[in-house]
Chain A
Amino acid sequence: MSVIFVALPVALLLGAAAAIACIGCIRAGQFDDLETPPLRMLIDESPAPDVNSPSQSDRDPKDPM
Chain B
Amino acid sequence: MFPEPEAVKRPSHAGPTAITSAIDTGCDACDHCGLPAPRRLANNRTFCCNGCRGAYQLIHQWGLEDYYALRDRTAGGVMSGEAVAVAGTPQRFAELDDPNLLSDSAPREVGGGMVRSRLAVSGVHCGACSWLIERSASMVPGWQAARVSMHDHSVEVTYDPEQTKLSKIAEVLGRMGYGLSPWVVGEAAARFADENRQQLMRIALAGFCAMNAMWIAIAIYAGEHSGISDDHAALLRWVGVALGAVAVLFPGRPFLRGAWASLRTRTTHMDLPIAIGLSVGAVSGVISLIVGHTDVYFDSVAVLVFLLLVGRWIQFRQQHRAADAVALLMRVTPRTATRITNDEAMVRVLADQLVVGDRVHVAAGEGVAADGVVVTGRSSIDRSLLTGESQSITVGPGDAIQAGVLNHQSPLEIRVTAGGDQSRAARLMRLVEEASLKKTPIVQLADAIAGRFVIVILTLAAITLALWWSSGPLQAAGHTTALLIVACPCALALATPLAIAVTLGRAAQRGLLIRGGDCLERLARPGMIWFDKTGTLTEGKPRWLLGEIADDDLALAAALERDSRHPISLALVDQAVRRGLSSRIARHQVRDVIETVGGGIRGTVDGRSVAVGNLAYIRGLGGEATDDVIRQVAEIADQAITPIVVKIDDTVVSIVGMGDRIRDDAVATTRRLRSMGWGIGILSGDHPRVVSITGGLLNISPHLTHGGLDPESKFALIERSKAEGSVTVMVGDGVNDAAALAAADVGIAVRGGAEASLQAAPIFLASGALQGLVDLIDASQQTVRVIRRNFRISLAYNAIAVTLAMTGWISPLLAAVLMPISSLSVLALTLGSRTFRLVPRPAASDAASSDIDFSDLVSDPGPTQWVPQ
A60-B65 in contact given A15-B212, A23-B205 (Cβ < 8 Å): yes
List, in ascending order, chain B residues with CB within 8 A of A46's CB. 66
Smallest Cβ-Cβ distance to B859: which chain A residue: A38
For A38, the chain B residues whose CB sits under 8 A away are 857, 860
A59 touches B862 (CB 8 A): no
A12-B62 in contact (CB<8A): no
CA gap between A56 and B64 in the complex, in Å:
11
> For chain A, which range describes its interface: under 10, 10 to 19, 20 to 34, or 35 or more residues?
35 or more
Contact of B74 among A26, A34, A39, A64 (CB under 8 A): A39
- Residues of B222-246 contacting chain A, CB below 8 A: 229, 231-232, 235-236, 239
- Contacts A4-B232, A56-B63, A57-B61: A32 and B193 contacting too (C-beta < 8 A)? yes
A15-B208, A49-B138 known; A36-B201 Cβ under 8 A:
no
Q: A8-B235, A33-B151, A36-B151 are in contact. Are A63 and B57 (CB under 8 A)?
A: yes
Q: Which of B521-566 contact A (CB under 8 A)?
A: none
How many Å from the CB of A13 to the closest CB on chain B?
11
8 Å CB interface, B157-204 against A: 193, 196-197, 200-201, 204
- Residues facing B in A8-26 (CB within 8 A) are 8, 11-12, 15-16, 18-19, 22-23, 26
Contact of A64 among B43, B126, B232 (CB under 8 A): B43
Which of A22, A32, A36, A42 is close to B854, meaning CB atoms less than 8 Å apart?
Answer: A42
Give A48 Cβ to nearest chain B Cβ, in Å.
Answer: 5
Decide: B138 and A44 in contact? CB cutoff 8 A.
Answer: no
Closest CB-CB distance, A44 to chain B, in whole Å?
Answer: 5
A57 to B57 CA separation, bound complex (whole angstroms): 11
Which of B57, B63, B139, B212 makes the CB contact (< 8 A) with A59? B63
Asked whether A43 lies within 8 Å of B60 as measured between CB atoms, the reply is no
Tell whether, in the assembled complex, residue A39 and residue B150 are in contact, meaning their CB atoms are under 8 Å apart. Answer: yes
Contact between chains at B864 and A35 (CB < 8 Å): yes
Counted as pairs of residues, one from A and one from B, with CB atoms less than 8 Å apart, the total is 112
Which of chain A's residues have a CB closer than 8 A to the CB of B151? 32-36
Flag if B208 contacts A64 (CB, 8 Å): no
Given contacts A19-B208, A60-B60, contact A4 B196 (CB under 8 A): no
Q: Give bound CA distance, A18 to B65, whole Å.
A: 42
Q: Is B292 an interface residue (CB 8 A)?
A: no
Contact partner of A43 (CB less than 8 A), chosen from B44, B70, B231, is: B70
- Give Cα distance in the complex from A62 to B63, angstroms: 12
Do B63 and A23 touch across chains, with their CB atoms under 8 A apart? no
Within 8 Å by CB of B45, from A31, A48, A64, lies A64
Whether B149 sits at the interface, judged by CB under 8 Å, is yes
In the assembly, what is the distance between CA of A18 and CA of B126, in Å?
Answer: 33
Q: Is B9 an interface residue (CB 8 A)?
A: yes
* Chain B 24-62: CB-based contact to A (< 8 A → 1; otherwise 0): 000000000000000001011100000001000100111
In the complex, are the beta carbons of B232 and A2 less than 8 A apart?
yes
Give Cα A44–Cα B9 distance, bound, in whole angstroms: 20
- Is residue B377 contacting chain A, with contact meaning CB distance below 8 A? no
Contacts of A22 in B (CB 8 A): 204
B148 within 8 Å of A by Cβ?
Answer: yes
**CB-defined contacts of B207 to chain A, threshold 8 Å:** 19
Known: A29-B197, A60-B5. 11 other contacts (CB 8 A): A2-B229, A15-B208, A16-B208, A22-B204, A32-B149, A33-B149, A39-B857, A40-B131, A48-B138, A49-B139, A65-B45
A interface residue numbers (CB < 8 A to B): 2, 4-5, 8, 11-12, 15-16, 18-19, 22-23, 26-27, 29, 31-36, 38-40, 42-44, 46, 48-49, 51, 56-57, 59-60, 62-65
A-B contact pairs, 11 of them (CB 8 A): A15-B212, A23-B204, A31-B197, A32-B193, A36-B149, A39-B126, A40-B127, A42-B852, A42-B857, A63-B57, A65-B53
